[in-house]
Amino acid sequence: GAVVSQHPSRVICKSGTSVKIECRSLDFQATTMFWYRQFPKQSLMLMATSNEGSKATYEQGVEKDKFLINHASLTLSTLTVTSAHPEDSSFYICSARRPGATDTQYFGPGTRLTVL
């Protein structure tokens, strides 16, 4: 299967700081990447769709000024959690859509964010 990497795998930060998470598709070019959030024992919640070279599309209820997404190349998308607060602590997972496969997504390993 396709390989998607995510960095860092785990981050602990103080309240008020910003955290950047990188998502890379390693063996294919992804024009579209997705950012999800997952709380314990809950399903994936789509936060935003990241399109290369254009602005991200955010889901209802997701603050675009707080969760900044940049998709500067066909293999890299970044999510920056700005002014993080303890309620932002969660498991963040990115995925990449493989060209030619309209609906299959390949997921990264996830980033566990803990805000103190």
Partner 1 sequence: QKEVEQDPGPLSVPEGAIVSLNCTYSNSAFQYFMWYRQYSRKGPELLMYTYSSGNKEDGRFTAQVDKSSKYISLFIRDSQPSDSATYLCAMSEGGYQKVTFGTGTKLQVIP
Residue 15 three-state SS:
coil
Q: Which stretch binds partner 1 (CB under 8 A): 14-22, 62-70, 75-83, 91-99?
A: 91-99
- Indicate the residue among 7 and 82 with the shorter CB distance to partner 1: 7
Q: Which two tokens stand for residue 98?
A: 């493989």
Q: How does DSSP assign 27-85, residue by residue?
A: SS--SEEEEEEE-TT--EEEEEEEETTS--EEPTT--TTTEEEEEEETTEEEEEE-S--
| 114 in contact with partner 1 (CB under 8 A) | no
Least distance between partner 1 and beta carbon 5 (Å): 10
Query: How far, rounded to the nearest angstrom, does the alpha carbon of residue 64 sit from its chain's CA centroid?
Result: 13
Residue 46-65 contact track with partner 1, rule CB under 8 A, x = bound: x--x----------------
| 76 in contact with partner 1 (CB under 8 A) | no
- Indicate the residue among 28 and 110 with the shorter CB distance to partner 1: 110
2 burial level (CB within 10 Å; 0-12, 13-18, 19+): middle
> Interface with partner 1 by CB under 8 A: which residues?
1, 4, 6, 32, 41-44, 46, 49, 91, 93, 95, 97, 101-110, 112
